Chain A
């Protein structure tokens, strides 16, 4: 069964304090790993897609990396506006294009 586990559940950082969020996955053939950001009361907002081990994507203070078993979302010198829940999802060969398996998310709080 395809599964995604995110850690930690919650993370509190001071502004400027860099850290990483983890997404461990098991999937029957990876067709893509996806990172989303979700603000309270809003729908998730797409950030990145990674397809193969060794791939990296960057956007502003965020950098996503992928290995064969996990992905990391690195946050460099975060700002309070980076506070949100970060969701990781995978799509495997066993499901349709629409069937993404999501983790429970990591709630990030960045204090000024």
Chain B
């Protein structure tokens, strides 16, 4: 597809379970971002990958959160021992080389996570 693809689109899990969220960026985009959008709140930065550089993990809220990226391709966000406050829409975005500074991020439709 032409856009950023995220899966699953919806995930319901029980407190304490681990979840994995997947992001397929637009082909050729070197930068990849994860943001979280909780109900009634603004988007919160989680992590940023740029090419082969070390990722910026400064937004990850706790050590239960981790993310990996395979080269300049797919990324997986993992949340271990989920808590109810982790319930949110997790948004992935990508941008092409040299365009990160313009702030033009291409977002996917998000993965809605509900922790019961």
Contacts and interface: CB of A to CB of B under 8 A. Distances in A.
Interface in A5-64: 31-32, 34, 41-46, 49
Nearest to A9: B40
Q: Which of A42, A43, A98 has the most CB of B within 10 A?
A: A98
Nearest to B42: A102
B48 A104 contact: no
Contact of B42 (A31, A41, A42, A104): A104
A101 B103 CA distance: 11
Contacts of B49: 98
Contact of A98 (B31, B91, B102): B31
Q: Which of B41, B45, B50 has the most CB of A within 10 A?
A: B45
B91 A96 contact: no
A103 B93 CA distance: 17
A104 B40 CA distance: 7
B101 A4 contact: no
Contact of B100 (A41, A89, A97): A97
Contact of A87 (B43, B106, B109): B43
B45 A99 contact: yes
Contact of A103 (B42, B58, B59): B42
A105 B40 CA distance: 9
Contacts of B4: 43
Nearest to B103: A34
Contacts of B101: 31-32, 97
Interface in B45-91: 45, 47-50, 56, 58-59, 91
14 contacts: A32-B101, A43-B4, A46-B104, A46-B106, A49-B103, A89-B43, A97-B31, A98-B45, A98-B49, A99-B48, A99-B59, A100-B43, A102-B44, A105-B42
Interface of A: 4, 31-32, 34, 41-46, 49, 87, 89, 91, 95-105
Interface of B: 4, 31, 33, 35, 40-45, 47-50, 56, 58-59, 91, 93, 100-110
- Please provide the 3 A-B residue pairs with the shortest distance between their CB atoms, ordered closest to farther: A98-B48, A43-B107, A34-B103
